Amino acid sequence: MATHFLLFSLFLLVCGAAGSDDPTTSRRRYGEIPLPGGLGPESIAFDCNGAGPYAGVSYGRVLKWNGPSRGWSEFSVPLPNRNRALCDRTTDPYSEPACRRPLGLRINRATCDLYIADAYFGLLRVGPNGGVAEHLSDSAEGVRFRLTNGLVIDERTGVVYFTDSSAVFQRREYLMSFNKGERSGRVLAYDARNKRVRVLYRGLAFPNGRNG
């Protein structure tokens, strides 16, 4: 069983005698946290209390780090009847449509809910206590999401901005999107107040994550 690691970097800036920042003297320290099988996260999040990180892994689960003494625990799954015999610890990309694949993760600091962009299942949300995630949306304007990817939240309004990287290819086929130069990606907005999804931009070449 392959072991994969989640890396954290801590940048230590050493100031010069004159008090100015000298980037040549900065040093980087890494700590490695082994993941329990599967392939590592594309996004991590920390909750309203600073606990975590929370990490989505290749076999469909969101895990929570509880410190060195307790390690990782399962925080959320996308389906109540998820096939654990098939999915747990698998790294087979062809199992992803059945097992799902969480990519983008963000905590809404106003509600402490965790929002999940699942590549195969669309936009999900789970409360501070975890469990089975609530399915919010898997399509917009009659077009199903094929590769829900990155997200960011406007905490003033609760609007979730997220990307659907391709309307043609799924995550396990993402290189074909590049090779064919297709431009079917979209940027969308989910409004939690009325539970509606709007398309903000379309015709994009593999929009990946969003930062904000």
Residue 8 in any domain: the answer is: no
Rounded average pLDDT over 181-191: 93
For residue 167, what are the domain limits?
43-204
Residue 31 has pLDDT above 70, yes or no: yes
What pLDDT score does 29 carry? Answer: 63
Looking at per-residue pLDDT, the higher value among 132 and 173 belongs to: 132
CATH number at residue 52: 2.120.10.30
Task: Note the pTM of the prediction, 2 decimals.
Answer: 0.84
Percent above pLDDT 90 for the chain? 59
Q: Please tell me the total count of domains within the chain.
A: 1
pLDDT in tens, 56-103: 988 899 999 999 999 999 999 999 998 999 998 888 888 989 999 999
What pLDDT score does 4 carry? Answer: 55
Looking at per-residue pLDDT, the higher value among 119 and 173 belongs to: 119
Residue 49 in any domain: the answer is: yes
Residue 26 in any domain: the answer is: no
What pLDDT score does 17 carry? Answer: 37
- State the burial class of residue 1 (Cβ atoms within 10 Å of its Cβ: 0-12, 13-18, 19+): exposed
Residue 96 in any domain: the answer is: yes
